[in-house]
Structure 1
Amino acid sequence: MPVAYEAPEVLDRREGPYGEVVLRRHGGLLQIIANGCFLMDTSDGRSERRLVDAALAALARPLPRGRPVAPRVLIGGLGVGFSLAHAAADRRWGGITVVEREPAVIDWHRDGPLSALTRAALADPRTEVVEADLTEFVNETSDTFDALCLDIDNGPGWTVTEGNGSLYGAAGLADCARVLRPGGVLAVWSAQPSPVFEETLRNAGFQQVRTEEIPVARGVPDVVHLCVRPG
């Protein structure tokens, strides 16, 4: 007897500034699809959580007057909200700014099907959500952060849109360094390791460049590329 296949249910479909974005339910999972390409779902989240934890662990801030500094983190990409929710659950973060370019994704979190995952995080006074393209944001903002966590693509060599590619080159990494305070940490999620990107980070002036593996339920591990802006 053939196995019954449950077709995904489309919950919302919108034409956004960068093409079509779709939120759908497949069994117990919520999925985000962009221009027909699967981006992410609510099945796990360990990679997103590890991205935030690795950045915090890599920070080595001085202690003014014997008290620890509460660092600020900039998260590139709201997605299904795992990174934001995990950061907000950790009281060590002093401020959490999330940059998301798709207004539909922000709406799905504020009053849509994804709100159950991030309601508490969005209500946290430390949280700020900015609707903007991350490449433009890091190029234009005058604000600075202690950590920058990037999760807007499948990796430096596998971008969601062609325009994101510039973020992983010399000019884009210079912008990332500019928004980081001295000693600040850049953490980049990727579906696979990239020795070429590691070399690009070193050439851009970052130090302590390394790659951490993140075990997943099936297949090869995800990774987080980590590096530090010189003090």
Structure 2
Amino acid sequence: MPHPYDTDETPVVLDRREGPHGEVVLRRHGELLQIISNGCFLMDTSDGRSERLLVQAASDALDGRPDPSVLIGGLGVGFSLAHAAADPRWGRITVVERERAVIDWHLDGPLSALSADALADPRTRIVEADLVAHVNETSDTYDALCLDIDNGPAWTVTDDNGSLYSTSGLTSCARVLKPGGVLAVWSAEPSPEFEGTLRNAGFRQVRTEEVPVARGVPDVVHLAIGPG
């Protein structure tokens, strides 16, 4: 979720929807497409390095496991999905997205330019669901779980997402991971407290990778190996 570019152009709203968690807006700002939720800037198409790192770091941590499956939490502007689909090593790619508007913007809207090939990949499946509910209810298991539904564990888009980063929420995440599976969590800032929560939930080999940004603190990806 990189910061928007500075530009003198006025943002143009392309679509505005009322979703289950409030208003979501897709707008064009210069050459960028931006997603806004309840007036809060979430992400744009300016960079994508940290979103790609989210998936790449998870893949690298699996250390050559054959045909691994990945669950990506959050479709966003599609960088994470596109990066996963461009890698033939992934055997199954599932994306959980709770906002119907975001899915539509990818299927037949302006964001399809970024994700059309990935969505056409037979390995890809889009699930319209709340991620917190999905990890609590699904019977599927995955080799990797990549979370990018918030601006970080301490900066959630909606209050009900906060439970996902608690010890109990991370225990639910661990439940959908296969033995030795990896959890990768995107954040707009480092969080030593979250690293401690990961360890308290039984995760091992907890570490953080940074992605420098143009200004401010770096984006990070928290990585951990599931218990068991």
TM over 0.5: yes
Unaligned ranges ≥5, structure 2: 1-6
**Aligned partner (choices 15, 18, 26) of residue 15 of structure 1:** 18
Q: Which amino acid aligns with 1:78?
A: L
State how 1:1-231 maps to structure 2 within 5 Å: 5-60=8-63, 69-231=66-228
Q: Deviations over 1:21-51 (max 9, x none)?
A: 0000000000000000000000000000000
Q: Distance in 2 between matches of 1:124 and 1:60?
A: 24
Q: Distance in 2 between matches of 1:5 and 1:145?
A: 44
What's the TM-score once normalised by structure 1's chain length? 0.94
What's the TM-score once normalised by structure 2's chain length? 0.95
Residue 125 of structure 2: SS of its match in structure 1?
A: strand
Q: Which amino acid aligns with 2:33?
A: L
Q: Distance in 1 between matches of 2:227 and 2:156?
A: 27
Q: Distance in 2 between matches of 1:5 and 1:180?
A: 46
Q: Across the two proteins, how many residue pairs are aligned to each other?
A: 222
Residue 75 of structure 2: SS of its match in structure 1?
A: coil
Aligned Cα RMSD in Å?
A: 1.1
Q: Distance in 1 between matches of 2:161 and 2:227?
A: 25
Q: Which amino acid aligns with 1:213?
A: E
* C-alpha deviation, 1:216, in angstroms: 2.0
Q: Deviations over 1:41-64 (max 9, x none)?
A: 000000000000000111136xxx
Residue 142 of structure 1: SS of its match in structure 2?
A: coil
Q: Deviations over 1:71-96 (max 9, x none)?
A: 00000000000000000000010010
Runs of 4+ displaced beyond 4 Å: none
Q: Deviations over 1:94-117 (max 9, x none)?
A: 010000000000000000000010
Q: Distance in 1 between matches of 2:187 and 2:69?
A: 22
Q: Which amino acid aligns with 1:170?
A: T
Unaligned ranges ≥5, structure 1: 62-67
Q: Which residue is equivalent to 1:64?
A: none
Instruction: State whether residues 174 and 227 of structure 2, in contact with CA within 8 Å, keep that contact through their aligned partners in structure 1.
Output: no
Instruction: State whether residues 189 and 223 of structure 1, in contact with CA within 8 Å, keep that contact through their aligned partners in structure 2.
Output: yes
Instruction: State whether residues 60 and 183 of structure 1, in contact with CA within 8 Å, keep that contact through their aligned partners in structure 2.
Output: no
* C-alpha deviation, 1:170, in angstroms: 1.4
Q: Which has the larger radius of gyration?
A: 1
Instruction: State whether residues 183 and 230 of structure 1, in contact with CA within 8 Å, keep that contact through their aligned partners in structure 2.
Output: yes
